[in-house]
Amino acid sequence: MERRDFLKGVLGGGALAGMPLGTFAAAAAPADIGAAVPVTLVSQVDLPFAAALAGRIAGSLEARGLRVARLAPHGNELGRYASVMSILDGARHGHLIGVMDDASAVIVQQLAASRGAACVIQTHHRVSEGAVRSCCTVAGLDSNLVWSDGVASPADRIGRLYAQAVGRGGARSSSPAAVAEDAFASASGASAASLVSFVINTSSIGRGHTSTETAA
């Protein structure tokens, strides 16, 4: 699958128009991924704006017919080996989308890698008064994708991108889903924050990789 095909039309227009896209890693959307394969969406409950962004991503996925299982662990849980391994085990044979702080993202991705699961996309989001600035890294893509959305807008571009990554790009309806009032819509300069979102292909977990967890 070509990265140009993967990203073309997903984030088109604005700051992303005309960017070199290269080729897209096959791990992003394996051929056997279908509508029946669930997506696990993990948002850090104590991180400002994480729930709002996770809600918008979930809305984009569900509008495209994907089943989404939502988890909201505390940051302390995301720093514990046993807790993260439990999340990964529960998300096997599908995709895991995380929305959390940078330190938690590193832990989850490293433990996922130890189980043979590949991180397909990672995006850093900076929330400030009036806008959410996103910088997205796609595995194997030379240039980062950078764009900004107004905090009061649907900001569906990240949802469309992640829907493509899990193998479901087309929405069931041509009309965008309404976005409820959330933390982004009420953001102010005083509430500036940063967070990380990412997509992990968990389809390889359990295929020759076993947990070495010991009782804690």
pLDDT given at position 3 = 41
From the number of C-beta atoms within 10 Å of its C-beta (0-12, 13-18, 19+), residue 188 rates as exposed
- Alpha carbons 171 and 199: distance in angstroms, whole number: 19
Q: Mind giving me the DSSP string for 184-211?
A: TTT--GGG-EEEEEEEEE-TTTTSS---
- Alpha carbons 127 and 113: distance in angstroms, whole number: 28
pLDDT in tens, 122-162: 999 988 777 788 999 987 777 888 888 776 665 567 888 89
From the number of C-beta atoms within 10 Å of its C-beta (0-12, 13-18, 19+), residue 216 rates as exposed
The CB-side HSE value for 28 (13 A sphere, CA atoms) comes to: 27
pLDDT in tens, 61-114: 888 888 899 999 999 999 999 999 999 999 988 999 999 999 999 999 999 999
pLDDT in tens, 26-47: 334 443 444 445 899 999 999 8
Is the pTM for the entire model greater than 0.95? no
Average pLDDT value for the chain: 74
pLDDT in tens, 6-21: 444 444 433 333 333 2
How is residue 115 written in tokens?
Answer: 């189980």
Of 47, 75, 53, 56, the residue nearest 191 (C-alpha) = 47
Specify the length of the chain in residues.
Answer: 216
